[in-house]
Structure 1
């Protein structure tokens, strides 16, 4: 009876997802190469204007790391027609909000306005692209801002260099070996001309997608987009040819030290395929199976039942060129790091050896159906998804049908993918230790 009820719940959720999450959109391209995506939703008087640029930390010169993230800050400094310090004032005084973020693969800027301020949002983003003021005053100001962010989020944050050390050992050739925030000495050494050259190369319309979503009139929106973005000159085409990583064929062992922690951690990390590959989706499901929620396999076993770990988790970092599958644990009491690894490996071997139960499989489907329903519950979320699917997946339709990929994944695939990627000879084992352990 329980299985029947569970199946009924899944069926109802699938039907709801199919109905609730259908996102209508229109795509086209300006003559300068800028891609445009429009999504009309007149249910609330709100509009999101966003631009995603295909530039991230992987595009930086290896001696100028942090440049892409730095630009996320620098391009709020001002433009030819927006004075320094006025950007945020203009947004807030018109009832809006805005933000930006950077990854290894892209940089994203957006404003959320009452729909009667749509033209203002378009003008501001066109100003950022066409008339940015990149001068020494702005560079010096944002240099201090970025340094403070690094101190707060990385240098003084417990386990703040966790991912940095994983990437350092997982990638020897590809620029994913660096961090998004970069090295401060690289930014200190950069000249004004280098910042200007970075802007000229990457902040061009043919390296961007503009998304306008919300309470819009499509014909008038198209006219405004043409008026504000159409005159911006096309830039040089960007050619990427990053080096390929050699396969990992034997265990990489490493240690890292953190002055901000007292409890050590252990990490096992595996290089996985790009986010567009089907196996990446399977690995996402596998990480949920192992560590999403208190009833997940690793948490229930190691935290709840055996009380070996304060925390344990698994997650797949999907990126444009490669992914990284990470499993980690923090020991409790006298548990050693080796014991943690052994218990984690035991659960992975179970997945490789036996099919997960039908009940656990249905639970996974519930999780991903729910994530799908929630992912586009706001206009800002829809704008982000449209930009991301276009730029990094080259398939905007994923906003509506990505869930079909998860629905089609079988228990046999989960087993096969675990066998393919999660093997001891294909991984990094990193001991992340308190600084006091360094002298021992």
Structure 2
């Protein structure tokens, strides 16, 4: 049964492909920026308070920040993350529910984490909002019940990310760039989180949630004298303390540019990041040139990386760069997600753009447009209280001149094309780059090796390993027919399979930011008809139908009918058990043994589709298909698991499809030879 669910890819590819290049802003006379000066005072316990009065709107915002030094947690990594979720979940004075109800009643927003707290709302409620924030931050009750609930949810989240190529790429990138024993390289694993106890969280809170390095920034329609009275009353009893001062050696860049490869056999595309560490502070004389150089290289849809990899070559949906800055060592990275076939070419083009900005002066227009964008964003952001609070905090904690932000536009405009080239040579390294590629080794590693750069291999946790065996030879006597015959036997045998006339499947799945789970319904019959639908409640989000003569997709009231080649492909997807006849089809080849989710599988290639059958069980574990969308091409992978017998035939009750994220469909009900009528395919 070929179950590649084209409806899902259509739903999400349509959204992604709507992305357009953002029009470049035009430069105009720079506005004069005036940022309110803060009125500062300090409590006896060390809490420093910064008040920026702004009476334009009847609103107030608070931000409590603990300016502690980063630290590692060792084999119990996850303690601070748990503390972040537990702080504010009920206090000695107020239950969690009562607390949240009052916040809602006031129309306020209050949040907590291990590094502080934030709150905002109408200034007429300023006193009560600050009182609630202080109560949640300083009087949290850490209960075992809440701890267990959050821990279980966190563990589920970690496990769900194990197959995520993007998550693995982000984790390994930090491990390699900073080191596994550095605060920026350490990561939470299921193993480390399992070791975390409630006692650890309470100890972490008592040790680090202290006022010695804390700042409370208040911005809005308030009077400093009133704020001072409230703060002294609410925070004056906060026990004096300073968090441990821990320092770590600065991470070192590699001595030679190299490719670091992580094999993810389930990857539908390669995640590429070209990385080196940087130590860029806001007080650095080249700070403004650095952020403009990054903007020109890959700061958005008008950046050179985007214009090259997406607009010129159509290899990706986006390509960007980012340079970190602040009190501690950060990283500069250029990144993109590209289809497997062009992974090596994308690496070459990224390196080419890095070389170009280091060796050639950027054009006056490029620099002018980059300045216009930065100035435009700066002017818009400065209207937000959170931005004003962050700027006030930066000024205090990073030793900035008092007029740093008032001179921001002037400093941007002072950057020259020569400055951009100079700073690119300083921060965008040529000979000390890590080129991290996380992808399907059997398809991308050979081409990467041909680039003639040193190439090293790592596992999903950043540990160095020997070069993996990406594809194994098939044993003598194994043929396409024997593999497909074994599959038919594994799911119930030829007689049982041929007796299946219809299949109805109903399940559920979730998508990011959706308010509720989606219902998944699939109906198919042996005559080559198929109906697949995603719905939220009674509202259909998308429906695909294939019948004897036509095929169409209905989405948001818009219908698209398929014709020609597309119609042929859609009809081929509606065959119940393609394995019964696939061995007789011309052009089908056995493409070796590949690993899928840690299991060896026989890979059978049928045109643009590859089917993967477990070497041991014979069951189909996945299929992948190359899908063309205009000038874009991606590989769609669908994984099958949790096979259960229904009327003597095993059917997958778990279908996971990568549609930019993993869409995990849990099947609740399967019916064979019932529940399907011709009306389902109209």
Q: After superposition, what is the alpha-carbon deviation per residue over 1:5-40, rounded to whole angstroms, capped at 9, x for unaligned? A: xxxx6452x2x2x24x52332222111110111111
For 1:292-311, what aligned pairs fall within 5 Å after superposition?
Answer: 292-311=299-318
| Alignment match, 1:50 | 63
| Alignment match, 2:150 | 142
| TM-score, structure 1 as length reference | 0.86
| Alignment match, 1:92 | 104
Provide closer, same or farther for how the CA distance between residues 233 and 248 of structure 1 changes in structure 2, counting only shifts above 3 A.
same
Structure (1 or 2) with the greater helix fraction: 1
| Alignment match, 1:6 | none
- Tell me if the contact between 1:36 and 1:211 (Cα under 8 Å) persists in the aligned partners: yes
CA distance in 1, matches of 2:340, 2:442: 18
Deviation at 1:221, TM superposition (A): 1.4
Most deviating of 275-284 and 338-347: 275-284
Unaligned runs of 5+ in 2: 1-25, 444-467, 472-682
Q: Secondary structure at the match of 1:312?
A: strand
- Tell me if the contact between 1:209 and 1:391 (Cα under 8 Å) persists in the aligned partners: no
CA distance in 1, matches of 2:52, 2:229: 15
Most deviating of 392-401 and 120-129: 392-401
User: 2:351 pairs with 339, 345, 350, which one?
Assistant: 345
Deviation at 1:228, TM superposition (A): 0.9
- Tell me if the contact between 2:268 and 2:340 (Cα under 8 Å) persists in the aligned partners: no
Q: After superposition, what is the alpha-carbon deviation per residue over 1:159-179, rounded to whole angstroms, capped at 9, x for unaligned? A: 123221111111125321124
Q: After superposition, what is the alpha-carbon deviation per residue over 1:83-127, rounded to whole angstroms, capped at 9, x for unaligned? A: 23333222112111233567xxxx342111211221122222322
Q: After superposition, what is the alpha-carbon deviation per residue over 1:53-111, rounded to whole angstroms, capped at 9, x for unaligned? A: 2248x423222222223222110212211223333222112111233567xxxx34211
Q: Is 2:186 the counterpart of 1:178?
A: yes
Q: Secondary structure at the match of 1:304?
A: helix
CA distance in 2, matches of 1:397, 1:98: 31
Q: Secondary structure at the match of 1:253?
A: strand
Structure (1 or 2) with the greater strand fraction: 2
Q: Secondary structure at the match of 2:269?
A: coil
CA distance in 1, matches of 2:313, 2:96: 57
| Alignment match, 1:286 | 293
| RMSD of Structure 2 on Structure 1 (CA) | 2.7
Q: Secondary structure at the match of 1:343?
A: helix
CA distance in 2, matches of 1:232, 1:333: 56
User: 1:32 pairs with 45, 51, 58, which one?
Assistant: 45
For 1:3-82, what aligned pairs fall within 5 Å after superposition?
Answer: 10=27, 12=29, 14=30, 16=31, 18-19=32-33, 21-55=34-68, 58-82=70-94
- Tell me if the contact between 1:45 and 1:114 (Cα under 8 Å) persists in the aligned partners: yes
Q: Is 2:438 the counterpart of 1:432?
A: yes
Higher relative contact order (CA 8 A, sep 6+): 1
User: 2:206 pairs with 197, 200, 209, which one?
Assistant: 200
Q: Secondary structure at the match of 1:161?
A: helix
Q: Secondary structure at the match of 1:59?
A: coil
Q: Secondary structure at the match of 1:400?
A: coil
Deviation at 1:299, TM superposition (A): 1.9
Provide closer, same or farther for how the CA distance between residues 66 and 84 of structure 1 changes in structure 2, counting only shifts above 3 A.
same
User: 2:252 pairs with 241, 246, 256, which one?
Assistant: 246
Q: Secondary structure at the match of 2:96?
A: coil
Deviation at 1:398, TM superposition (A): 4.0
CA distance in 1, matches of 2:316, 2:237: 58
CA distance in 2, matches of 1:292, 1:46: 33
Provide closer, same or farther for how the CA distance between residues 192 and 300 of structure 1 changes in structure 2, counting only shifts above 3 A.
closer
Q: Secondary structure at the match of 2:246?
A: coil
Deviation at 1:48, TM superposition (A): 0.9
CA distance in 2, matches of 1:47, 1:426: 47
- Tell me if the contact between 2:357 and 2:421 (Cα under 8 Å) persists in the aligned partners: yes
Provide closer, same or farther for how the CA distance between residues 63 and 407 of structure 1 changes in structure 2, counting only shifts above 3 A.
farther
Q: Secondary structure at the match of 2:437?
A: strand
| Alignment match, 2:273 | 267
| Alignment match, 1:113 | 121
Q: Secondary structure at the match of 1:73?
A: helix
Deviation at 1:258, TM superposition (A): 4.5
- Tell me if the contact between 1:290 and 1:314 (Cα under 8 Å) persists in the aligned partners: yes
CA distance in 2, matches of 1:81, 1:397: 43
Q: After superposition, what is the alpha-carbon deviation per residue over 1:289-333, rounded to whole angstroms, capped at 9, x for unaligned? A: 012343322222232123344432111133431121111233358
Q: Is 2:333 the counterpart of 1:321?
A: no
Provide closer, same or farther for how the CA distance between residues 268 and 69 of structure 1 changes in structure 2, counting only shifts above 3 A.
same
Q: Secondary structure at the match of 2:406?
A: helix
Q: Secondary structure at the match of 1:423?
A: coil
Q: Secondary structure at the match of 2:167?
A: coil
| TM-score, structure 2 as length reference | 0.57
Deviation at 1:148, TM superposition (A): 4.7
For 1:151-190, what aligned pairs fall within 5 Å after superposition?
Answer: 154-155=161-162, 159-172=166-179, 174-179=182-187, 182-190=188-196
CA distance in 1, matches of 2:309, 2:357: 16
CA distance in 1, matches of 2:404, 2:332: 23
- Tell me if the contact between 2:297 and 2:357 (Cα under 8 Å) persists in the aligned partners: no
Q: Is 2:424 the counterpart of 1:418?
A: yes
| Alignment match, 1:133 | 141
Unaligned runs of 5+ in 1: 1-8
- Tell me if the contact between 1:51 and 1:125 (Cα under 8 Å) persists in the aligned partners: no
CA distance in 2, matches of 1:133, 1:306: 56
For 1:363-378, what aligned pairs fall within 5 Å after superposition?
Answer: 363-378=369-384
Provide closer, same or farther for how the CA distance between residues 363 and 429 of structure 1 changes in structure 2, counting only shifts above 3 A.
same
